[in-house]
Amino acid sequence: MEVLTSRTIIHPRDLDRSLAFYGEDLDLAVAREFGQGAGRGVVFFAGGGLIEVVGTRPRPSPAPAPDLAGTADHPPAIALWLQVRSIGAAIADLQGRGVPVVRPPVLEPWGLIEAWIEDPDGLRIHLVEVPADHPLRRDARFIER
C-alpha cells in the first residue's frame, strides 16, 4: 500500500480547550480549517506530520475512558488518517494480506473517499483517497481569496 501523507486525528472532550492547546500553547501553525460549530476542525502542522483536532457530538456524562474503536455516534478518541493514491488498490492489497476492512470505501459529504480498517488493538485507521477534483488538490497559491 502506498501512503502519500498521514495525520493523527484527535476527537477531544473539549474542542475549544484542545484547539487552544495545539494552536496557542504548542504554537503549531494551521494547515487548514473546516466546518463550523461543534463539528469544526483544525489541521495543524506538526513537523513532518499533521495533527487534526475535530469536534464531535457530545459524549455522555460522565465521559467514559477513551475508546479506541468508537461507535458510529461517537468516533474514537484517536484515529490515524492515511492518504493513499488509490483506495481500490489499497483495499485489494490489504485484503490480500488478510486485513479485514471495517467499512468499505464511501464517498463522504466532504468529497473524500474513505474506508476504515483497524489495528490489532482496535485503533481505527482511515484510508483516504483525495479525488482529482477535490479542493485539497488545488494549489493554494492560485486560489482567489
More confident site: 121 or 90: 90
> What tens digit of pLDDT does each residue of 12-65 get?
888 898 899 888 887 889 999 998 888 899 999 987 888 888 886 444 444 444
Report the pLDDT value the prediction gives residue 72, as an integer from 0 to 100: 52
Report d(CA 44, CA 13) in Å as an integer: 18
Task: Give the predicted TM-score (pTM) of the model.
Answer: 0.63
DSSP, res 95:
H
Helix (H) or strand (E) holding 15: helix 15-20
> What tens digit of pLDDT does each residue of 55-113 get?
864 444 444 444 555 555 555 678 888 888 999 999 999 899 889 999 999 999 888 99
Report the pLDDT value the prediction gives residue 71, as an integer from 0 to 100: 55
Cis omega (within 30 of 0) for bond into 135: no
| Four-point Cα dihedral 83, 120, 39, 45, nearest 10 | -50
Report the pLDDT value the prediction gives residue 139, as an integer from 0 to 100: 62
Return the domain boundaries, the chain.
Answer: 26-57
Q: Which residues pair with 33 in a beta bridge?
A: 42
More confident site: 123 or 76: 123
Under 8 Å between Cβ of 85 and 91: no
Report the pLDDT value the prediction gives residue 41, as an integer from 0 to 100: 93
Q: What is the CA radius of gyration of the chain?
A: 16
**CA quadruple 90, 92, 97, 101: dihedral positive or negative?**
positive
Banded model confidence at residue 145, pLDDT cuts 50, 70, 90: low
Going from the C-alpha of 8 to that of each of 11, 74, 81, 82, 110, the distances in angstroms are 10, 17, 6, 9, 18
Report the pLDDT value the prediction gives residue 57, as an integer from 0 to 100: 45
